[in-house]
Structure 1
Amino acid sequence: MDMFTRLKSAVSHVIPGNPLSRDFDIYGQVASTGPSLMWKVFSAAKKSTKEEASVFLFEKKQIDKHHKRDKEVIIDSLRRGVQQLTKLRHPRILSVIHPLEETREALAFATEPVFSSLANVLGRRDNMGSSPPKFLENFTLFEVEIKHGLLQILEGLGFLHSDAKMIHRNICPSSIVLAKNGTWKLAGCEFVQQAVNVTDQTVNTPPEAQPNLDFMAPEYEITHLCGPASDMFSFGVLMFSLYNQGKPLFENKGDVRAFRNHAEELSSVRGSLLKSIPNELIDHVKLLLNTEPTIRPDAAQMAQIPFFEDMACIALQYIDTLYQRENIEKSNFFKGLPKVIDHLPKRVGQQRILPALFKEGHNPNMVPFVLPSIFTISEQSTQEEYCALVLPDLIPFFKLREPIQITLMFLQNMNLLLSKTPTQQIQTYVFPLIFAALEADNSQIQELCLGIIPTFADLIEYSTLKKSLVPRIKKLCLATTVLKVRVNCLLCLGKLMNQMDKWFVLDEILPFLREIPSREPAVLMSILGIHKVALSEAKLGITKDVMANKVLPFLIPLSIDSNLNLHQFNAYSSVI
């Protein structure tokens, strides 16, 4: 989404010392992440495929203040973190698409597109330069984003603890990134270790090479042993900080002594300290913050608490697993999705749901099921957002002719499309859809199309009206065997006449009426209506000669047609 790949410049620039500049076009910085937020994150695109990506860059000059030994410790830690992240493959762990490369000046690697880091979103702007991205100004996480984000982190922890048999050891906002589609992903793997009798070894190391003390479990200090439960403690502090303006329970500011003191205070944590978090979370967070690791719930248990049993959260979870579902399951889900979207914040619909809907659209049979939700999000969006986020991916759908429900839905939502789509795109993509609808074999589609054409007649260029639209309507009117379609063709032409000039009406419309093969009352009254418009519109200026030689000789025989009732005969007589 263009809205979420901000700060791109027209010409990509090369960052000095970045070894990935050979393979990627690198644009503006979007985030900072990792220990002490030392990694700068830039939006990028792979040169060979134009695929969107993010480039992570660590500039070694950031740590020039340290002694040589400490520099090596910090750089080794960052290298280890990227290598570990590259090995781990899971939907809830940030995906590396280009391995770590190193020069004398920098370390760099590339990942799937990143929107921001959780630390940045919560207010930390370290290593972001003098002008952080504008989208971070007044950025606030919505409740559903927090719930679903926490659930995604629990899934990532469940994979690490149960499948990979590892512990993260640094669960905190700077280790979590928000992917371009808004999903929360675990990163920051500098301190990941196998979960077997792990002994903490952060003594005498620089702060940049240590886990975040504000989120560390007390056993790191008390017993110097840690395990999966230690990550769950960190997760508890993370939950608290999300509802406490990004601030943890205790702020140690990198001071190990302060960490020791606060570790001792944890045994008497009072409920009043947790008043900022929702009531239904307090008891669960208390368990997570217990000094006894065996009392803390594991990731699977936390994922089952009622706090996450929220309709919007469940819907977002389902969207994350669409690739695992059968078409019949997905179609049933999509039928109810518009009602869920109505209750979601606009950004969540645009960022989390829209990309998944368009991805499903690669299967034409699924398009009729995803279009209602796309239209719902389009209604919520401004025209600028619609043009940036919806229209580019909607254009391929305009070209689909099967299944027929696709055309039907576009016609039913034509007012929305015309109000949001720029004039140039209407000419290029919407009009061909309408022309195809007129030529369809389905009378329902034809009737619907004829009914909506007059609503946007003023948007149609006159040359398009004369050369493309009117000829198709005339052809349909003569060829159809369905009375309602023929009548609607005539009504449509009558409503379009105020867009026509005098000579076009005289040469193309009035002579055409003589060719109509049937004489049902509805057809005769529609023919009369067209003549009334021609006579009443001053700009059309039907002359006396035309009336005497062409109009009256045609109307008088029709007025005495046996199919007309008295009221209809009187209508003809008044015009004559």
Structure 2
Amino acid sequence: MFKFLKEVVGGSGTGLRDLPYNIGEPYPSAWGSWLHHRGTSKDDGSPVSIFSLSGTNAQDGHLAAGRNGVKRLRTVRHPNILSFLHSTEIETFDGGSSKVTIYIVTEPVMPLSDKIQELGLEGTQRDEYYAWGLLQIAKAVSFLNNDCKLVHGNVCLASVVVTPTLDWKLHAFDVLSEFDGSNETSSTQMLQYAWLVATQYKSTELAKSDWAVIKKSPPWAIDSWGMGCLIYELFSHLKLSKTEDLRNTASIPKSLLPDYQRLLSSTPSRRLNTSKLIENSEYFQNKLVDTIHFMEILSLKDSVEKDTFFRKLPNLAEQLPRQIVLKKLLPLLASALEFGSAAAPALTALLKMGSWLSAEEFRVKVLPTIIKLFASNDRAVRVSLLQHIEQFGESLSAQAVDEQVYPHVATGFSDTSAFLRELTLKSMLVLAPKLSQRTLSGSLLKHLSKLQVDEEAAIRTNTTILLGNIASYLNEGTRKRVLINAFTVRALRDTFAPARGAGIMALCATSSNYDINEIATRILPNVVVLTIDPDSDVRSKAFQAIDQFLQMAKQHYEKTNMAETTGGASDGSSSIPGNASLLGWAMSSLTLKGKPSDHAPVASVSSSALTPTSSNASSGMLNDRSLILNLIF
């Protein structure tokens, strides 16, 4: 038996000081005599709902029913029944009068009538959402009637509330009682609180208090009538004012009308059991209900069913009510991915839904799941993350990339699959700007050094291109130590022509990092050799590079002569202009100039032969200091 925490305090309202929740503004509507307040936890600020019921003395009939409701709500648990958190009863004195108030704290919810107005759904989307909500309430009522042999007694629009994830939940248990036709106490208890139910919501036998008929009726008879009242109020957008209004079926959907009429049968024994309503009604068969149902039993589906479902989900999500997708489906999908019950294609759907969120909501609701997925051992998930990294990479914080993402991504550099090695390489274009100097020089450059001698020629080529693009994120000492060696000793001497061309382009793109001595003694001698390269594209790039570096040498010469003529002292450094080049990925490792790779991709990916960086890429090199990257897929 539930034991109430009861405090008797002096002074109006002082008992609330010990309530571990803050009571906020009330909603405009609530069931019965209760007030429904917004609230927050004093511990962590998490939202809650607080229901309060007041009476002039402890023996007040409303308070007696309220205590019954608290006891029932605390002990009856079901996914579609409001979740109980805390309760207390406080008696306060003001002058010579006393006031007793019962407080119930639950999960955060909003009255259904208010939520319907807020959502503003119309047409098919409204009908699909109503179907989903009615299905949830029907499950709750069926659980009470068939599994628990309990009668709610007042199912109606006011007894339904909605969670932040837009789930409908049944509450208002003040009238709820056991129902057993062979037990006299059940009728006594039901009769005790039946006066709380407004006349228009009472079935004929309940309105007459004909307990002989009620005891012979099935336990769902009274609540099936209540379901009919709920359906009427939901679709008519009117509060039921008299029982006769239930005969007005103009607003009831045709697919639901036969079941609605059976729920309101004048003969209690013929009323439709809510369990049969769930099983048989055509009304509950729609895209939204089917989609949410599939997600909720995802762990029971096989891999083929999951794969098919998640490949269709991005397009399907566009047809469903947007708010329901973001508040209901998105959390389900994120949870399924996080705990491994969803297949890799689900990531595409997650990012599709996430694109409809604000930047802040995306960081809160989607990014934590994505970050956790990087630790997955499922290669298909890792591939999917890398393929979509441009969609979420900018939202990742530098700390998260450096500490949580990069350590897992870096394992792909040494993967046996060329396809995964290449995806890992390309992901660095997004991640490298967020890496610390310690990670860049201590880890990333070591991996890139190995990839420059990779057996896949396209990977060697794209490694050089990546180095050229991330050079600005390296500190000066690292650039001096790494860049020229990487581009001249390795790239310019590669047996693969596009790799040599990429080396030339990378030198041009990073020319502002070299002094005149390096240009004259280390760069120009290595580039001049390529003017007789067998590949015409390499020769063309070599001549363009020579022109650029000779122009820089000439500027240094003119500056030096000017300093000597004016008697000034030259500092020995050249005024090296900024430069730009179009450093795009040379090609995919899946296709090397029409020659298939020896490494099969780890997942089915549509890929076509990629065009090597053209010689036109270096045109206008001296016009802009930024590196412009063209990703060629």
| Distance change (3 Å), C-alpha of 1:456 and 1:53 | closer
Matched residues in 2 for 1:33 and 1:318: separation? 34
Letter in 2 for 1:181: T
| Distance change (3 Å), C-alpha of 1:86 and 1:331 | farther
Matched residues in 2 for 1:501 and 1:170: separation? 72
1:186 to 157, 170, 175: 170
Alignment coverage as a number of residue pairs: 511
Matched residues in 1 for 2:390 and 2:457: separation? 26
Letter in 2 for 1:108: Y
- Counterpart in the other structure of 2:630: none
- Counterpart in the other structure of 2:389: 414
- Counterpart in the other structure of 1:38: 34
Letter in 2 for 1:379: S
Letter in 1 for 2:251: S
3-state SS of paired residue (1:91):
coil
1:436 Cα deviation after fit: 5.0
- Counterpart in the other structure of 1:254: none
Establish whether residue 229 from structure 1 lines up as the match of residue 221 from structure 2.
yes
With the length of structure 1 as denominator, give the TM-score of the two structures: 0.75
Letter in 2 for 1:229: A
| Distance change (3 Å), C-alpha of 1:108 and 1:32 | farther
| Distance change (3 Å), C-alpha of 1:202 and 1:368 | closer
Letter in 1 for 2:463: C
Higher relative contact order at CA 8 Å, sep ≥6: structure 1 or structure 2?
Answer: 1
| Distance change (3 Å), C-alpha of 1:371 and 1:76 | same
Could you tell which deviates more after superposition, 332-341 or 28-37? 28-37
- Counterpart in the other structure of 1:313: 289
The 5 Å alignment of 1:422-571 reads 435-438=410-413, 440-454=415-429, 460=434, 463=437, 467=441, 471-472=445-446, 474-497=448-471, 506-516=480-490, 518-534=494-510, 539-540=512-513, 543=516, 545-560=517-532, 564-571=534-541
Q: Quick check: 2:531–2:543 contact (8 Å CA) kept in 1? A: yes
Matched residues in 1 for 2:51 and 2:332: separation? 29
Letter in 1 for 2:487: L
| Distance change (3 Å), C-alpha of 1:570 and 1:337 | closer
Establish whether residue 341 from structure 1 lines up as the match of residue 313 from structure 2.
no
Letter in 1 for 2:197: P
Establish whether residue 276 from structure 1 lines up as the match of residue 251 from structure 2.
yes
Matched residues in 1 for 2:42 and 2:380: separation? 37
1:485 Cα deviation after fit: 1.2
The 5 Å alignment of 1:170-319 reads 170-197=154-181, 210-222=196-208, 224-225=210-211, 226=214, 227-245=219-237, 247-248=238-239, 250-251=240-241, 262-263=242-243, 265=244, 269=247, 273-303=248-278, 304-319=280-295
1:103 to 87, 90, 95: 90
Letter in 2 for 1:242: L
1:36 Cα deviation after fit: 2.1
Establish whether residue 150 from structure 1 lines up as the match of residue 122 from structure 2.
no
The 5 Å alignment of 1:333-372 reads 333-364=309-340, 366=342, 368=344, 370-372=346-348
Establish whether residue 572 from structure 1 lines up as the match of residue 542 from structure 2.
yes
Establish whether residue 78 from structure 1 lines up as the match of residue 66 from structure 2.
yes
Letter in 2 for 1:395: I
Matched residues in 2 for 1:567 and 1:383: separation? 44
- Counterpart in the other structure of 1:12: none
1:466 Cα deviation after fit: 5.9
Any stretches of 5+ residues in structure 1 without a counterpart?
1-14, 124-135, 252-261
Matched residues in 2 for 1:20 and 1:117: separation? 27
| Distance change (3 Å), C-alpha of 1:370 and 1:106 | farther
Matched residues in 2 for 1:436 and 1:18: separation? 56
Q: Cα deviations across residues 217-257 of structure 1 (Å, max 9, x unaligned)?
A: 23322463445222112211211211222x23x41xxxxxx
| Distance change (3 Å), C-alpha of 1:228 and 1:44 | same
Matched residues in 2 for 1:46 and 1:472: separation? 50
Measured on the aligned residues, the alpha-carbon RMSD in Å equals 3.9
3-state SS of paired residue (1:572):
helix
Letter in 2 for 1:546: E
1:202 Cα deviation after fit: 8.6
Could you tell which deviates more after superposition, 298-307 or 32-41? 32-41
Could you tell which deviates more after superposition, 147-156 or 316-325? 316-325
| Distance change (3 Å), C-alpha of 1:433 and 1:37 | farther
Q: Quick check: 2:330–2:350 contact (8 Å CA) kept in 1? A: yes
| Distance change (3 Å), C-alpha of 1:200 and 1:381 | farther
| Distance change (3 Å), C-alpha of 1:311 and 1:388 | same
1:183 Cα deviation after fit: 2.0
Q: Cα deviations across residues 162-216 of structure 1 (Å, max 9, x unaligned)?
A: 22122211101232222343222222111123334575989898x9x60244433
1:509 Cα deviation after fit: 0.8
1:503 Cα deviation after fit: 7.6
| Distance change (3 Å), C-alpha of 1:420 and 1:547 | closer
1:150 Cα deviation after fit: 0.3
Letter in 1 for 2:152: H
Could you tell which deviates more after superposition, 226-235 or 499-508? 499-508
Matched residues in 2 for 1:476 and 1:33: separation? 68
3-state SS of paired residue (1:185):
strand
2:361 to 368, 376, 385: 385
Q: Cα deviations across residues 434-473 of structure 1 (Å, max 9, x unaligned)?
A: 555445554322312333544687x557957964686246
1:161 Cα deviation after fit: 1.9
3-state SS of paired residue (2:236):
coil
| Distance change (3 Å), C-alpha of 1:27 and 1:334 | farther
Q: Quick check: 1:407–1:433 contact (8 Å CA) kept in 2? A: no
Q: Quick check: 1:229–1:294 contact (8 Å CA) kept in 2? A: yes
1:309 Cα deviation after fit: 0.7
Q: Quick check: 2:338–2:373 contact (8 Å CA) kept in 1? A: no
1:523 Cα deviation after fit: 2.0
Matched residues in 1 for 2:400 and 2:114: separation? 37
Q: Quick check: 1:94–1:185 contact (8 Å CA) kept in 2? A: yes
3-state SS of paired residue (1:546):
helix
1:347 Cα deviation after fit: 1.9
Matched residues in 1 for 2:233 and 2:503: separation? 73
| Distance change (3 Å), C-alpha of 1:234 and 1:364 | closer
Establish whether residue 403 from structure 1 lines up as the match of residue 378 from structure 2.
yes
Q: Quick check: 2:437–2:474 contact (8 Å CA) kept in 1? A: no
1:121 Cα deviation after fit: 2.5
With the length of structure 2 as denominator, give the TM-score of the two structures: 0.69
Matched residues in 2 for 1:218 and 1:352: separation? 38
1:344 Cα deviation after fit: 1.9
3-state SS of paired residue (1:243):
helix
1:433 Cα deviation after fit: 5.6
Q: Quick check: 1:176–1:187 contact (8 Å CA) kept in 2? A: yes
Matched residues in 2 for 1:233 and 1:199: separation? 18
Q: Quick check: 2:464–2:486 contact (8 Å CA) kept in 1? A: no
1:422 Cα deviation after fit: 5.9
Q: Quick check: 2:530–2:539 contact (8 Å CA) kept in 1? A: no
Matched residues in 2 for 1:20 and 1:324: separation? 45
3-state SS of paired residue (1:274):
coil
2:15 to 14, 17, 23: 17
